[in-house]
Amino acid sequence: MNFTKSKARVIMLRSFLIFLSSLFGLSTNAATSGTGDWVVPEKRLSAASGLSDSTRAVIESVGGGARLTKEYIGDDPRKEILELDRQIRLEDPVTQETLEGMFNVKIQIAELAGVGVYKVSPGKSNSSMDGRVFLHIHGGGFALRGGIASAFEGSAIASTSGIDVISVDYTLSTESPFPAALNELVVVYQELLKTLPAKLIAVGGSSAGGNLTLALVHKLKALGLPVPGALYVGTPNIDFLYAGDTIVTNEYVDNTIVSLKGFVNAFHEIYAGDNDLKNPLISPIYGDFSGFPPTYLVSGTRDLFLSDTVRAHRKLRDAGVVADLNVFEGVPHGAYLVPGSGEYNAALGDLKKFLQIHL
């Protein structure tokens, strides 16, 4: 009986799809391979019309974004990643003075529990969340953007939310892979708990930072430690098995990271090593999300990791967690962080409101 009902639903759904196809002059058979797959015609892409002018200009300047895409990473991927990091530092140097001037913040180099951090304070006129702290975890595939560059997004958050930020300059995977960075985040968080209740601490970051944010909460739960008051999870790559739909559908559509081919996959291999890729501390999507704090998630319709973001949102909601999903039209991986753009103002402006409510 169940099989019959299921088969009937499939027939009805296919009839409905045929009806829709007829409305738009499409064929349900022309692009079908007969194996359950179908072929999608090659497309010529331009920046989405729905973008703000400043974000569109940045995306158009990137073009196809082939930098991170290579058909083959050599026998020593660590060496190639280190060279990539060196090139990025040369071409896009970040200094403390640059960040302080761009975001109107003050940055102090420090250590917490022996881990290097950058303490970022908003301008006095912009300090609106006194007594609360944002623990920021930077992105960069677990392998890039260490040093002062790790405080870029944290400086943006301090500036827009008026909150004190601690950006953790965690050990990059090229120096020490999993679980080095996660262990450092745990001890920094424990250090904060000595002077602050967990409900006054937010944790978050984008890309690898989004992964580490969710992994940190899984770890805190396992240790029996109180979880933060709120989370910020930007375009997280949280499934090293790559089960997400947009890993395929947005390949070469996302002109920031473009594809898993080349460096993106190498980042994950270096970070995870020989560990179980379904370990929730490596691929957080496979963990138990019950008891998680309110979470603010961000992605874009052209983001390779849009599905990871959507899946995380669904798991949080299914676990009864307050979760706010924000998806921006035409935005590839991380491009909501173009300073001063409409997407930046919206994403970080809404984050401020979210923190004010939940932190």
Q: What was the pLDDT predicted at 178?
A: 98
Residue 299 has pLDDT above 90, yes or no: yes
**pLDDT tens profile 152-166:** 999 999 999 999 999
- Percentage, residues of the chain above pLDDT 90: 75
Q: Is the pTM of this model over 0.85?
A: yes
**What is the per-residue pLDDT for 24?**
44
Euclidean distance between the first and final Cα of the chain, in Å? 50
Q: Which residue has the higher pLDDT, 23 or 155?
A: 155
Q: What is the pLDDT of residues 31-59, one digit of tens each?
A: 555 567 877 777 788 889 899 999 999 88
Mean pLDDT of 94-109: 96
Is the C-alpha dihedral spanning 226, 231, 234, 239 positive or negative?
positive
Among candidate residues 193, 195, 183, 188, the one with its CA nearest the CA of residue 219: 183
Average pLDDT for 267-289: 97
**Which of helix, strand or coil describes residue 307?**
helix
Q: Residue 215 has what pLDDT?
A: 98
Q: What is the pLDDT of residue 15?
A: 56
Q: Is the peptide bond before 179 cis (omega within 30 degrees of 0)?
A: yes
Tell me what the mean pLDDT of segment 136-143 comes to.
97
User: 191-210: b or e for each residue (b if 16 or more CB lie within 10 Å)?
Assistant: bbeeeeebebbbbbbbbbbb
Can you give the pLDDT at residue 193? Answer: 98
Q: What is the pLDDT of residue 12?
A: 56
High-pLDDT (> 70) share of the chain, %? 88
pLDDT score, position 2: 53
Domains of the chain: 1-38 (no CATH), 66-358 (3.40.50.1820)
What string of DSSP letters covers 185-205? HHHHHHHHHTTS-GGGEEEEE
Asked if the model's pLDDT at residue 240 lies above 90, the reply is yes
Pairwise CA distance, residues 208 & 243, whole Å: 17
307-336 burial code (b ≥16 CB/10 A, e <16): bbbbbbbebbeeeebebbbbbbebbbbbbb
| Helix residue ranges per DSSP H, the chain | 2-23, 53-62, 77-91, 96-103, 152-161, 180-193, 208-223, 246-249, 263-272, 306-318, 342-358
Contact 262, 327 (CB under 8 A): no
| Least confident piece of the model among 34-38, 143-147, 195-199, 296-300 | 34-38
CB-count exposure of residue 123 (10 Å: 0-12, 13-18, 19+): middle
- pLDDT score recorded for residue 11: 57
Lowest mean pLDDT among 3-17, 154-168, 318-332: 3-17
Query: Please, what is the average pLDDT of the chain?
Result: 90
Contacts of 253 (CB under 8 A, 6+ apart): 45, 302, 332
Distance CA 213, CA 21 (A): 42
38: DSSP letter = B
Burial class (CB in 10 A: 0-12, 13-18, 19+), 19: exposed
pLDDT, position 40? 73
Running DSSP on this structure, what letter comes out for residue 272?
H
| Whether the Cβ atoms of residue 209 and residue 139 lie closer than 8 Å to each other | yes
Given this model, what pLDDT does residue 19 score?
46
